[in-house]
Structure 1
Amino acid sequence: MTAAEFVGAEKAREPAEQWAGIAATPLRFLHPSHIAACFNGVVTPKAAEQLAASPRIAKRLERLVADHHGLPAFPGEMAVDDGDLRLMRMSSDEFQEFAWSAGAIYWAHVLSGEIRANAVAALKEIVGEATFTLALAHRDLAGGEPKPDDPEALREHVQRDGDACLASWYASMPPALHAWLRLKLPEDYSLAPPASAEKREKCLAIARRLAQSGDAADIADGRQ
């Protein structure tokens, strides 16, 4: 094996090992309410989360959850990139924080369009100071839609379009994962991608960029 072949094999092995870790314990990445639902109200989501972290019952619990929700077997192997792996490993709360950050990027043209100190402070109050800075760093991907009439409308638009970014990424993933990915989020969380093909492409580009960035690593590590 040449040096170049060795380096290539090592790079390929790392994602494969990460995927194997996800496939070994997929319940750790689901929203606990979906695990609790298998116990007909006897187990709370908090208790379900603790059960999912127990190696002793992991496989039995995985079979129970799969049967209850009609899930296919979790793929033992899957060709995905580093950004996909990072999103797969996120908890439900981190997944939703990722969506919020993606929505802020979509509206970065509005966030970056103010120079008045009081207006900038108001925008930071809406999206969060760290998210404001993150969005400006990726403002080349902003959606360019008309500015909302008031700050509260902007908050709603950031949430809506962040969800659209997450949904566009979800739709791009292999169908074998869709049922499992849906359970990373609360039952009432929408994963419907935008109707417009142009907006779907924009939202997917934002999700892909953010997932590959150090900003997503900060979200996953709780630093955002």
Structure 2
Amino acid sequence: MSFLHPSHIAAALDQRLTAETVRKLQNCHRLEQRLARQMKLHLAEQDLWPIPASIEFLAGPAHPQEVARLAGAIWHAASLRLVVTGKAAAELVATIGEKAFAFGLRHAAASIAPAQAIGPSELAHAIDRDGLACLGAWLAGEPKPRRDAVLLRLSPEETERARRFGPEHKAACQPVMMIVTTEGETR
């Protein structure tokens, strides 16, 4: 249970649970079986049941949100290159993080989307949207336990967004995710 995104537990039990309470539930090994039974219906509705074995969680990326953001930064690297200084760059870095910003600039040659001069908040939204879609398209080719292990680390909203990918994400996900998995998590 400790690998699951806390919002999955809160959504299955009670949305009013505090983050601290959920964290305590996740770390209480004595309650794991009871907690899993309580979550079964909620996770089954999302096609995330049964909960994968710990080995599946350990085989996938530890921080899929970051992996998705790095994939999105590559996806929109051409647009990132248009925002390199000033207030717009500072706003974008504050939203997507310095690592994703620098990663996208470093891999501008692998950009998928054409360069667009759009505002930092719109670009950040596009990076998150396409990054999650790219992650989802990549996961679609993985065995269900491995795919579910990654999706369970995301919030339910992020999981839903990762499942909504288009043919362009499916076509480009392999080279983008190859860059992210070989370089992204090691820096």
Task: Give 2:179's match in structure 1, choosing from 176, 184, 209.
Answer: 209
Partner residue of 1:55? Answer: 29
Give structure 2 stretches of 5+ with no counterpart: none
Task: Give 1:192's match in structure 2, choosing from 156, 159, 163.
Answer: 163
Could you say what the CA RMSD is over the residues aligned between the two structures, in angstroms? 3.1
The one-letter code of the counterpart of 1:212 is: T
Which moves more between the two structures, 31-40 or 63-72? 63-72
Shift of 1:113: 4.9
Task: Give 2:75's match in structure 1, choosing from 98, 102, 106.
Answer: 106
Separation in 2 of the partners of 1:206 and 1:31? Answer: 25
Instruction: Say whether residues 1:123 and 2:89 are aligned partners.
Output: yes
Shift of 1:174: 0.9
Under a length normalisation based on structure 1, what TM-score does the superposition of the two structures give?
Answer: 0.63
Report if aligned partners of 1:106, 1:203 keep a CA contact under 8 Å in 2.
Answer: no
Task: Give 1:135's match in structure 2, choosing from 101, 104, 125.
Answer: 104
Partner residue of 2:3? Answer: 29
The one-letter code of the counterpart of 1:53 is: N
Change (3 A) 1:114 1:173: same
Change (3 A) 1:124 1:99: farther
Report if aligned partners of 2:5, 2:152 keep a CA contact under 8 Å in 1.
Answer: yes
Partner residue of 1:151? Answer: 120
Report if aligned partners of 1:30, 1:184 keep a CA contact under 8 Å in 2.
Answer: yes
The percent identity for this pair of structures is: 28
Report if aligned partners of 1:103, 1:163 keep a CA contact under 8 Å in 2.
Answer: yes
Query: Which structure has the greater CA radius of gyration?
Result: 1
More RCO (CA 8 Å, sep 6+): 2
Shift of 1:145: 1.8
Partner residue of 2:65? Answer: 96
Q: Secondary structure at the match of 2:162?
A: coil
Separation in 2 of the partners of 1:95 and 1:46? Answer: 22
Change (3 A) 1:57 1:217: farther
Separation in 2 of the partners of 1:156 and 1:207? Answer: 19
Separation in 2 of the partners of 1:165 and 1:37? Answer: 25
